[in-house]
């Protein structure tokens, strides 16, 4: 019974992987062959189709991490901790993608690799918070304790994200307004819009796939740890 359930879920997961691959491929095709190359930016503009979705996903993952962290502090369930940790980890990954692709864009658009543009600044600072979350788990001491401490940070991360956003927006207000986001002229073209939405869905599906994968790995590790300690408790295994 257990075996069959596992097979079924693996089949579903495999399907998810295949679907993600297909959608990603489709998004790439739309990006490079269907959507027209933007006049001013040239080929670099195509970064947009993955840069923006990565940043969006990062924000969503922050929220997931914060909610899971709060629930973990209240319920002390290791599954909630695994959700929080996975979300933080992927948030850092997608934040990093946004941070790497951002400067590529900036170089072409404004002639400088880095321009303290509010959203990029926000992304950078948020990645710091969640990198801190991961560092806390790694170096914070005993496992259960460092998890709780990290959860506290994970919970604080979401309102911090909001306040940082307000602050850098106000701060960036003194800089020349840029037109990259919001009503960027690039998205007036329907093919571009299609590519963008395909990119968004592809990145979202990639996130879900990675999330499931990492979550399962964590829970598996948790189960191994539990099994080992259970065996130790009943003297079926040597210590250490």
Partner 1 sequence: MTATHDTLPFHEVQAVDVSKIYDRIVALRRVNFKATAGTITGIVGPNGAGKSTLFHILSTLVAPSSGRVLFDGSDVSAWQPRSALRGQIGMLGHQSFLYPDMTGEENLTFFGTLFGIGRADLPDAVKRVLECVRMDHAKTRRVKHCSRGMTQRLAFARVLLQDPTLWLLDEPTTGLDVDTRAAMLDIISSQKVNKRIVVVISHDPEALHVVADRVLRLDRGRIDDNGTGDT
Partner 2 sequence: MNQHIQHFWVVFRKDIRIELRTREILLTMGLFALLLVVVFSFAFYTDAERSRIYAPGILWTTVVFSGTIGLNRLFERENENGCLSGVLLTPISPRMVFVAKAMGNLLFTLLMEILTVPLLVMFFSLDIQPVGIFLSGLLLGTVGFCFVGTLFAAMLSAARMKEVLVPLVVYPIIVPIIIGGVKVTAVVLNDYPVEEALNWLKLIAGFDLLFVSLAIWLFEPMIAP
Q: Which residues bind partner 2 (CB under 8 A)?
A: 73-74, 76, 125-126, 128-129, 131-133, 135-136, 139-141, 144, 148-149, 151-153, 155-157, 159-160, 163-164, 166-168, 170-171
Residue found by looking up tokens 């250490």 in the block: 240
- Cα 210 to Cα 202: distance, rounded to the nearest angstrom: 12
**Residue 67 has which token pair?**
């909610």
The count of chain residues that interact with partner 1, using the rule CB under 8 A, is: 12
* Closer residue to partner 1 (CB): 139 or 239: 239
In the region spanning residues 206 to 225, those forming contacts with partner 1, defined by CB under 8 A, are 225
* Closer residue to partner 1 (CB): 7 or 232: 232
In the region spanning residues 95 to 154, those forming contacts with partner 1, defined by CB under 8 A, are 142-144
* Closer residue to partner 2 (CB): 32 or 116: 116
Cα angle, residue 206 at apex, residues 201 and 209 outer, rounded to 5°: 125
* Closer residue to partner 2 (CB): 167 or 204: 167
Residues at the site binding partner 1, with contacts judged by CB under 8 A: 142-144, 225, 228-229, 232-235, 239-240
């Amino acid at each position: 019974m257990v075996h069959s359930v596992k097979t079924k879920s693996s089949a579903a997961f495999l399907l998810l992987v295949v679907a993600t691959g297909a959608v990603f491929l489709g998004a790439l095709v739309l990006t490079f062959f269907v959507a027209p190359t933007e006049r001013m930016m040239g080929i670099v503009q195509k970064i947009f189709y993955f840069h923006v979705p990565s940043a969006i996903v990062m924000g969503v993952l922050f929220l997931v991490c914060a909610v899971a962290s709060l629930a973990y502090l209240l319920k002390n369930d290791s599954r909630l901790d695994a959700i929080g940790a996975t979300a933080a980890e992927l948030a850092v990954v997608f934040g990093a993608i946004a941070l790497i692709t951002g400067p590529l864009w900036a170089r072409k658009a404004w002639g400088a690799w880095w321009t303290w543009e509010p959203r990029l600044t926000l992304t950078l600072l948020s990645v710091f918070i969640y990198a801190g979350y991961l560092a806390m788990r790694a170096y914070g001491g005993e496992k259960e304790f460092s998890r709780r401490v990290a959860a506290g940070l994970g919970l604080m991360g979401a309102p911090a994200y909001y306040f940082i956003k307000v602050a850098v927006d106000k701060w960036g207000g003194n800089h020349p307004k840029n037109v990259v986001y919001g009503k960027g002229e690039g998205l007036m073209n329907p093919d571009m819009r299609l590519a963008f939405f395909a990119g968004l869905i592809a990145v979202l599906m990639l996130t879900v796939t990675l999330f499931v994968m990492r979550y399962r790995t964590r829970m598996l590790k948790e189960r191994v740890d539990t099994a080992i300690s259970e065996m130790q408790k009943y003297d079926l295994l040597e210590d250490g």
